Chain A
Amino acid sequence: MFRLRSLGIGYTWRVILNQVKFTGLHALPFLTFVSAVSTALIIIQVLNQASKVGFEAIIGTVFVAALVRELGPLLTAVVVIGRSGTAIAAELSTNRVWEEITALETMGIDPLHYVVFPRFVGVTLATMCLVVYFDVVALIFGYVSARLTTGMTAGTYLGYIIDQFTMTDFYVTGLKGFLFGTIISLLPAFHGLVVPGAPTDVPKATTRAVVECLALVFLVSGIVSVLFYY
């Protein structure tokens, strides 16, 4: 029988909410900045060249292919790794060094359930939402950039983008958000929990987690894109 008590879910949901707040809500200002700047740079560069030959319609292709499919999820993942991936690795390795993980075990609390599971759920959920948020901010600042560069109207701008956008892009964005969230929560948690017990191992675990997360996120992004678009 499903028992809430055996899952300790009565308390764990608070940890999940805290993780969503930290990974998702607190990342919004910085992600807005990253999304706005990267979108503005790409749209201005493309429109500067394309407008010379009257080919402004390419903005739709560039927006969907470069920003929605590739850069959006990747830059979001980089921001989440920089904030939450490092935090998870540093926090869990410090917990291990201070024997807080062992303390949980002595209380009959499963560290995988109390420490790892909420971070997995929180980071994955937040990353999926952040990828969508990145695209929304990109859409707004893309329009602002296009308007300032060529005086393009909102209707024309949206028309170019909607022409290129397919349901596959929607699914792939969600899939990448899920996969990146999984990587960014589990890999740093693993590195944090296997720290042998010396304080000097904390920065090492954090560095290792960040590097491996970045490498794996780029690799997975490439594999997903190849599977769906080529």
Chain B
Amino acid sequence: MDVPMVTQAERFDEVRDGEASPHPAEVVLRCQGLRVRHNEEIILVGLDLEVSRGEVVVLVVESEWAARLIPRILIGVESAEGGEIEINGISILGLSEHRKLQLRRDVGYLFHNSGLIHNLTVWYNVALPALYHTRFKDIEGVGEHVNVLIDRCGLSRWSSLRPAALDESTCKKVALARAWVMSPALLVLEDPLMNIDTGSGSDLLDLAFGPSPPEWEDRDPRPPNPGVLIASQGLHEGLFRYVDRMIIIKEGEVAFTGDPKEFDRRGKTHPGDLINTREAF
């Protein structure tokens, strides 16, 4: 899609004046010509990317650093060397820190190491963004929503414990519930399968992207139809079931973009071949 970028001032003015809804765009994340460098290492030389509502996009990169840095740049926590980034139709280039914080209320983010607050219990970790961003008069509804979300993620029996008492895969589920609590239009997952075994990884992905179990069909608290970006170091087979589009970055450049199923048509035995061997390109 070739839609011109809207400046953040124009977009905020439209939202403020009621001319536009906060989530008008089908495209929830867009970047153009993104250039990233870390410690003199070139990580990206010009990435063009769009994530639409309901779409799951995986960005496969070579290094752990890249898998952490790129998603953080895309939501404006870190700075890029160059390029344009737009979240929910608002360009974050030159946006003040306060405006960026406002914009990130509608973004759910999962850290590679969960990023939980260690002096809060599981319940408060999940509730924190909602408690912080909710008006006094509406705060009673937060508790019920958090309870349902915790129940949906199978965390009820851990809810009064602190993160130090949990294993890594449970921490990731807590972090996922926290990322969902504001019902974001955009969900960004930073190396979600890092440090957890294959079985736990499958559980996490089923929870994140799988169909609702029968008992939750009518009341699933997961955000409806968010756009999802997953940054991953290397390819994980588990991801393939749920990914709509895959972008592989090799030496800073896009080496492949498209449906993961296309690999078979290109005669590769395994998609991992693409990232692991130079000849594959």
Chain A 93-115, CB-CB to B under 8 Å as 1, else 0, gives: 00100111011111111100010
Check A5–B98 contact: CB distance below 8 A: no
A99 neighbours in B (Cβ, 8 Å): 111, 113, 115
Is A8's beta carbon under 8 Å from chain B? yes
Check A108–B101 contact: CB distance below 8 A: yes
Is A4's beta carbon under 8 Å from chain B? yes
Check A107–B129 contact: CB distance below 8 A: yes
Check A105–B131 contact: CB distance below 8 A: no
Check A103–B129 contact: CB distance below 8 A: no
Q: Return the contact of B101 from the options A9, A10, A91, A110 (Cβ within 8 A).
A: A110
A228 neighbours in B (Cβ, 8 Å): none
Is A11's beta carbon under 8 Å from chain B? yes
Closest residue of B by beta carbon distance from A6: B102
Check A10–B105 contact: CB distance below 8 A: no
Check A4–B135 contact: CB distance below 8 A: yes
Which of A9, A98, A99, A106 has the most chain B CB within a 10 Å cutoff?
A106
CA distance A105 to B134 in the complex (A): 17
Check A10–B136 contact: CB distance below 8 A: yes
CA distance A106 to B132 in the complex (A): 13
B136 neighbours in A (Cβ, 8 Å): 4, 9-10
- Given known pairs A11-B128, A106-B104, A107-B104, the reply for A5 and B135 (CB within 8 Å) is yes
Closest residue of B by beta carbon distance from A107: B129
- Determine how close the nearest CB of chain A comes to the CB of B228; give it in whole angstroms: 15
Q: Which B positions have Cβ atoms within 8 angstroms of A?
A: 72, 75, 77, 97-98, 101-105, 107, 109, 111, 113, 115-119, 128-129, 131-136, 139, 178
| Interface pairs A-B: 10 shortest CB-CB | A103-B115, A106-B109, A108-B104, A108-B105, A11-B131, A8-B132, A107-B129, A5-B135, A108-B101, A11-B132
Q: Which A positions have Cβ atoms within 8 angstroms of B?
A: 4-6, 8-12, 91, 95, 98-100, 102-110, 114
Besides the known contacts A107-B128, A107-B178, A108-B102, 11 further A-B residue pairs in the complex with CB atoms under 8 A apart: A4-B136, A11-B128, A12-B132, A99-B115, A105-B101, A106-B107, A107-B132, A108-B107, A108-B132, A109-B132, A110-B98
Q: List 29 A-B contacts (CB under 8 A).
A: A5-B133, A6-B102, A8-B132, A8-B133, A9-B136, A10-B132, A10-B134, A10-B135, A10-B136, A10-B139, A11-B128, A99-B113, A100-B115, A100-B118, A102-B77, A102-B115, A103-B109, A105-B104, A106-B111, A106-B115, A107-B104, A107-B128, A107-B129, A108-B101, A108-B102, A108-B103, A108-B105, A109-B101, A110-B98
